[in-house]
Structure 1
Amino acid sequence: MNPLTAALPLAAARRTIDAALAHAASLQVAGIAVAIVDAGANLLAFARTDDCFLGAIDLAQRKALTAVRFRASTGALGALSRDGPLRGIEHSHGGLVTFGGGEPLVDGDGHCVGAIGISGGSVDDDTAIAQHCRDRFPATFHSTR
């Protein structure tokens, strides 16, 4: 890999955003925000639909940041933080998100190269869209290399 290029290509991030928006439309979920961060937790790509509420913009980015920082689903972190070993973790790192909608993005070699955050639908909808993109990401990633 060229050391001057991002481990997560912009083309892969854009394709992932397109997949998220298409899946949201297929689920009839309107008003979403989609954030993609790289492995260093830097915002790489972002999109929102025209009817997205303003709070979803920040939440999508925080979900992606949380997922990449812990290399874990935000929903899984939520399960551990309620009364579990990570109780209160959502108050660290400038406000983590511990409910569904954030997923790490792993390439075909098992390396976490970034994360996706979805916000604007119900928690179940956000989770379904993020997981859809996570599950298809290795093919998306390698088709842009």
Structure 2
Amino acid sequence: MIKGLFETHLFIRDLDISIEFYESLGLKLDVRYENVAFLWITDEKKHMLGLWKVKEEDMNKRHFAFNVNFEDLILAPQYLSDRDIRIKPVFGRGTEEPIVHTWMPAAAYYFDDPDGNELEFISMLDGEPM
């Protein structure tokens, strides 16, 4: 039945700023209206992000992860820094190396979008969960 996640949506404050941010990560704008925009996450057009401009009182923060290969994850600190995006410490850990989720197993870096939504670059690792 379910074959994966097709789209997710975020509430944002400024459509122009958010579109620019997500385009800097490689997403491609598909369509934009007055208060909403839809961006493709990959060139294959199998995953989409919707951005909805809402009033401040309707804002809420979300979390989701972008799947990346391990080689790109290793390059993520420089990739994000080049876009003036800071890696954030999570789970009491620093930002010098990826967080390793041994229960998956996966490695990840976390960062925020302009509205404080928590984003993640994650790469599954070989081996058995611990």
- With normalisation by structure 2, the TM-score equals 0.29
- With normalisation by structure 1, the TM-score equals 0.27
Structure with more of its chain in helix, by fraction: 1
Higher relative contact order by CA 8 Å / sep ≥ 6: 1 or 2? 1
